Amino acid sequence: MASFKIAILISGRGSNMAALINAAKAEDYPVEVALVLSNREDAQGLEIARAANIPTQVIKHGDFDGREAFDAAMTEVLAAAGVRLICLAGFMRLLSPEFCQRWRDSLINIHPSLLPSFKGLNVHERMLEAGVRIGGCTVHYVRPEMDEGPILVQAAVPIASDDTPDTLAARILKQEHRIYPLAVRLIAEGRARPTGGMVTIDNFELPDSCLINPPL
């Protein structure tokens, strides 16, 4: 039924990949996971994909001279698979500007903060050090700059005073698994369109609720 093909790029356990695969099992989900690609042959997520009968491929970045050659090899495989959207899910390689331009507006990422705050690494530790009361996660279109690009979906997650980086990361991850399939659905259904630095979403209503931490 689904004709909108996506590829998922992973480097490790692939928990967000698994969330997308599980979402695609539903009859009303308009997406087919056509390929899972990894730069590491020992990525745990590859076994999850194979168990779900999804084609997998490994392209080792160490086999290439530089980012551009590696990215060009990925583009060849992705284009051959006929994918319309590429989802980064813990893919631990910086992508070249050429790759980002080739797949512009067809390449998305998920990040464990409410962008544009806390870009980069060690996000959960930095949120706790800053003392913010609300963290979260973001799905966004990819641009050449790290953690830049029009924002598709965000989820807000309250932070407790006794949180550790691990407890906070686990709570945020649960929301990542909810919003990534939502973002992909919005794109596949043609309801989300990047316009300039923002994303326009059709048939969208603001929720009535508001997250306050600590609560009133």
For residue 1, pLDDT over 80 is answered with no
Instruction: Out of 61, 111, 124, 177, pick the active-site residue.
Output: 111
**pLDDT of 177:** 98
Q: What is the mean pLDDT of residues 159-188?
A: 98
For residue 13, pLDDT over 90 is answered with yes
For residue 176, pLDDT over 80 is answered with yes
State percent of the chain over pLDDT 90.
Answer: 94
Distance spanning both ends of the chain, measured CA to CA: 47
Q: Which domains does the chain have, with CATH numbers?
A: 1-103 (3.40.50.170), 111-204 (3.40.50.170)
**pLDDT of 165:** 98
Paired sense of beta strands 31-38 and 151-158, if any: unpaired
CA 135/CA 113 separation, integer angstroms: 6
**pLDDT of 207:** 86
pLDDT digits (tens, 9 = 90+) for 52-107: 999 999 999 999 999 999 999 999 999 999 999 999 999 999 999 999 999 999 99
State percent of the chain over pLDDT 70.
Answer: 99
**pLDDT of 2:** 55
Dihedral sign from CA coordinates of 49, 50, 56, 57: positive
Counting every residue, how long is the chain?
Answer: 216
What would the two tokens of residue 38 be? 């990894």
What is the average pLDDT value for the chain, to the nearest integer?
A: 96
CA 185/CA 201 separation, integer angstroms: 12
Whether residue 140 lies in the annotated active site: no
What would the two tokens of residue 118 be? 């806390």
